[in-house]
Amino acid sequence: MISRPTTEQVLLDCCRVLEDDVLPGVTDETTQVRLVMLGKVLRNAAIRAAHEVAWMREETAAIEGYARAVAATVGPDGLRTAQDALAAGPHASLHLADVVEVYVRASDLLSLALEAALADGRDELVREGEALLSARLAHEDEVVGGWDAAGR
């Protein structure tokens, strides 16, 4: 397969064409706003394409460790099903759909583990869970680069 330009570079090139060549020639305001939104979506997609597999794998590993710590402290009962579901996920595959499937299962486990830590009053574990949420949001922030409500 052709690996260079990368997916990120292809999408960013599409953004340049859209913004420099197409948008200036469009006079309809509604279409202008749609194109601005489309440019932003393409930029987001470019950054995601460049990093999302690595980010999801990193976060998944951290969540697995966190869930083990929560289970060891507050008891494993509420987490066992979600832990088993995550363990049964297609970890060996790097196809995006499989990485996403594992990540979604890990995210469910993170929700349950954090809720369990909160319900049990485990402040330190709550802070650790919040740190995982912060790391997740840092990645999302890197993708979107801010929110400005185009057209409004």
Partner 1 sequence: MAQPTMTPEALERFLSSVEPGRRASVTAFRAITGGYSRLSVVADVRWDHGGTERLVLRGDPPPGDGVFVSDRDAEWLMLGALSRAGSIPVARPRWYDATGEFFGTKCIVFDHVAGRSLQDVLRGAEDATAPGRMFVDTIAQVHGTPLDALGAAAEQPSSWDDYVDGVLDVYRAVDREVADSSPVLRYASAVLVRHRPPPVPFTLVHGDCQPSNVLVTESGEHVVIDWEFARIGDPREDLGYYTQIPMQPNVYHHDPQAFLARYRERTGLTEEQVNPGTVEYFLVIGMAHLLAQILRALDAVSRGSTRGVLATYLVNAVTHQYGLYLGICRRVAA
- Contacting range for partner 1; rule: CB under 8 A; set: 6-14, 16-24, 83-91, 105-113: 105-113
Helix or strand holding residue 29 (H, E): helix 29-74
Determine which residue in the list 44, 64, 76, 98 makes contact with partner 1, applying CB under 8 A: 44
Q: Which residues of 62-77 are buried (b: 16+ CB within 10 A; e: fewer)?
A: bbbebbebbbeebeee
Q: Which of the ranges 2-10, 11-19, 49-57, 108-116 carries the binding residues for partner 1, by CB under 8 A? A: 108-116
Query: Residue 92, SS3?
Result: coil
Nearer to partner 1, 41 or 54 (CB): 41
Contact string (CB under 8 A) for partner 1, positions 6-35, x = contact: -----------------------xx--xx-
For 109, the token pair is 């486990």
Distance (Å, whole) CA 79 – CA 68: 9
Whole-angstrom distance, CA of residue 125 vs CA of residue 143: 28
As measured in angstroms, the least distance from the Cβ of 94 to partner 1 is 20
Q: How many CA atoms lie within 13 A of 58 on its CB side?
A: 11
Residues that bind partner 1 (CB under 8 A): 29-30, 33-34, 37-38, 40-41, 44, 104, 107-108, 110-111, 114-115, 118-119, 126, 129-130, 132-134, 136-137, 140-141, 143-144, 146-152
